[in-house]
Amino acid sequence: MYYVGIDLGGTNIAAGLVDEDNNIVKKMSVPTLPERGNDAVTADIAKLISDLASSYGISLDEVAYAGLATPGAIDCDTGKIDRACNLLMEDYPIVDKLSALTPVKIYLENDANAAALGEAVAGAAKGAKYSVMITLGTGVGGGIVMDGKVYSGFNYAGGEIGHMVIEHNGRQCNCGRRGCFEAYSSATALAAMTREEIEKYPESGLAQVAKENGKVNGRTAFIAKNKGDEAGARVVEKYLDYLACGITNVINLFQPDIVCIGGGISNEGKGLIEPLLDKINNEVFTKTIAPERQTVIRLATLANDAGIVGAANLGK
């Protein structure tokens, strides 16, 4: 049998036909264009399911089900997207709508949770009984997998790692709280810290890197640090302190076998992981209690395919 995984984003709808071994054997994508209306987006999803099967030379009878990963707040029991701002969807019964357009059974999950499941079954956390994925992008996303199943709480809103507070009464977060992990450890937060440092030291190498690139983003401080710039090094050190604090909290709370880190910031590779590990290893609760049994920190490996693979496993 085959499975379809769909990653519904604000910009593109990415879909893949996945085999029993979690290999994506066929991929397709179309622009989301949410301004067309919810039903038009849903019709495109249904067409992708059909097109994936036909282009690979199989019938829809050979597709066990399709999993849909979507941003925003969802209700898996009712199959509704309660609210997804970037998709312009609110209280939208997407599973029922899709079921009217395709004979394939539909499962629904939050996109961060689906990505965590993808890494758990076929990526950096494969083989782990308990794993957590943290995504460092525009925000900080999270997903928790226990015994092969996504943990999302009674209301499907669990795993919002980005909205635990790590700095009381700190920076304003878009969620309404102050001091959230996301407000200090996202790529957006790192860029804000970088701008603040450039304002203080406009003649620094950090400022020069920003000028050369024409913008400030999550890479700017790392580039400057790697060139030996002190201002860049200060920003990176400060960022890693906050990131280590949040990840240590997650480890102390869940004690997962593996924490995998994805998102744009994870592209820094060893330059991110190695100093981060030193900070976390000094802070975790179990450092002296069980030094031989410590959570492993890894970079996510599936990149943009994590949501597709995870969605394709929702029915299993």
Same domain, 85 and 142: no
Segment 289-314, tens digit of pLDDT: 877 789 999 999 999 999 999 999 99
Segment 190-236, tens digit of pLDDT: 999 999 999 999 999 999 999 999 999 999 999 999 999 999 999 99
Q: Under a CB-based contact definition with an 8 Å cutoff, are residues 276 and 240 in contact?
A: yes
* Structural domain count, the chain: 2
pLDDT mean over 135-164: 93
Same domain, 26 and 140: no
- Residue 85 above 90 pLDDT? no
User: Residue 136: which CATH number?
Assistant: 3.30.420.40
Same domain, 95 and 140: no
- Go through 271-291 and write b for each residue having 16 or more CB atoms within 10 A of its CB, e for each that does not: ebeebbbebbeeebeeeeeee
Segment 250-261, tens digit of pLDDT: 999 999 999 999
* Range(s) of the domain holding residue 221: 126-300
Residue 270, domain member (yes or no): yes
194/189 Cα distance (integer angstroms): 9
Q: How confident is the model at residue 157 (pLDDT cuts 50, 70, 90)?
A: confident
pLDDT of residue 190: 98
230/198 Cα distance (integer angstroms): 12
pLDDT of residue 132: 98
Taking alpha carbons only, the member of 179, 262, 268, 283 closest to residue 232 is: 268
Beta strand pairing call for 140-146 and 130-136: antiparallel
* Strand-pair partners of 27: 16
For residue 234, CA distances in Å to 44, 144, 231, 300 come to 47, 32, 5, 26
- Residue 288 above 80 pLDDT? no
Which range, of 62-66, 82-86, 191-195, 274-278, averages the lowest pLDDT? Answer: 82-86
Residue 316, domain member (yes or no): no
pLDDT of residue 233: 98
Same domain, 173 and 221: yes
- Residue 286 above 90 pLDDT? no
